[in-house]
Structure 1
Amino acid sequence: MATETEVGELLHRRGWRTVFTVADRVNAWAALVSAVERGYDDDIYEYTNDLYCRNWLHEAWLLLDDHVVQLWTPRIRALDGRYRAATVDDDGQALEQFHRLPGPDLWWWRRHPRALTGDLGRSLRSAGAIDGVP
């Protein structure tokens, strides 16, 4: 297993735009979760871009040493729970109209915000999403 620095560098070599840290990506996930809870008002392309912070964490967890995983897992699980509570599972039907969905283990791609607001809400409604239900 690798250190946080090694994982950041490895994922950057694999195509991530910079050498992220776990704290960077956890903070980005927290910011997205908070935005979804308040009513995400940016557009569909920013939303799909923002979801990638969770992808980075998923990839990193397979590589990181156990100490780092144990340290951060409770925070990520709490954020995941908040995200699930603020979103609706539609198996990605609305989102896939705008972005190719990754594998089924990346569950956050198969949900959309419960409250459809702003540009994102208009786009997802045009793809069949309904406020509060899939």
Structure 2
Amino acid sequence: MATEIEVGELLHQRGWRTEFTVAERVNAWAALVSTIERGYGDYIHEYTNDLYCRNWLHEAWLLLDDHIVQLWTPQIKALDDRYKAATIEDDGIALDHFHRIPGPDLWWWRRHPRILTGDLGRSLRAAGAIGTDPDTA
């Protein structure tokens, strides 16, 4: 198993745009979850790009030393639970109109925000997503 620095370097070599740290990706996941809870109104392609912070964590977890995994897992699990509460499971049907949905182990791609607002809400609603719309409430 590898250290945080080694994993950042390895994933960068595999195509990630920079040598991220676990803290950076956990913070990005936390920021995204908070935004989804309030209502993510940016464009669909920004949203799908933002979801990749969780992909990085998934890939890193397969490579990291056990003690690092044990240190960060409670925080990531809490964020995952918040994400699940703020989203609706649709097996990726709505997002698949805009982005190829990866394998089933990347479960966060099979959900969409419960609050459908702004550009993201319009795009997902046009793809058949059902949720609440605070813009008209």
TM range (shorter): over 0.9
Partner of 1:117: 117
Partner of 1:42: 42
Residues 25-83 of structure 1 show CA distances to partners (whole Å, capped at 9, x for unaligned) of 00000000000000001010000000000000000000000110000000000000000
Partner of 2:19: 19
Matched position secondary structure for 1:23: helix
Alignment partners' CA distance in 1, 2:12 and 2:72: 20
Superposition RMSD in Å: 0.5
Matched position secondary structure for 2:88: strand
Whichever residue aligns with residue 114 of structure 2, its letter is R
Alignment partners' CA distance in 2, 1:131 and 1:76: 25
Tell me the CA shift for residue 24 of structure 1.
0.3
Partner of 2:56: 56
Alignment partners' CA distance in 2, 1:29 and 1:122: 23
Whichever residue aligns with residue 103 of structure 1, its letter is G
Listed as ranges, the matches of 1:86-125 within 5 Å are 86-125=86-125
Alignment partners' CA distance in 2, 1:14 and 1:77: 25
Tell me the CA shift for residue 86 of structure 1.
0.2
- TM-score, normalising length: structure 1: 0.98
Alignment partners' CA distance in 2, 1:130 and 1:73: 31
For structure 2, list consecutive stretches of 5 or more residues without a partner in the other structure. Answer: 133-137
Partner of 2:7: 7
Alignment partners' CA distance in 2, 1:74 and 1:36: 20
Partner of 2:135: none
Aligned-pair identity in percent equals 82
- TM-score, normalising length: structure 2: 0.95
Runs of 4+ in 1 over 2 A off after TM superposition: none
Whichever residue aligns with residue 101 of structure 2, its letter is L
For structure 1, list consecutive stretches of 5 or more residues without a partner in the other structure. Answer: none
Tell me the CA shift for residue 108 of structure 1.
0.2
Alignment partners' CA distance in 2, 1:13 and 1:109: 24
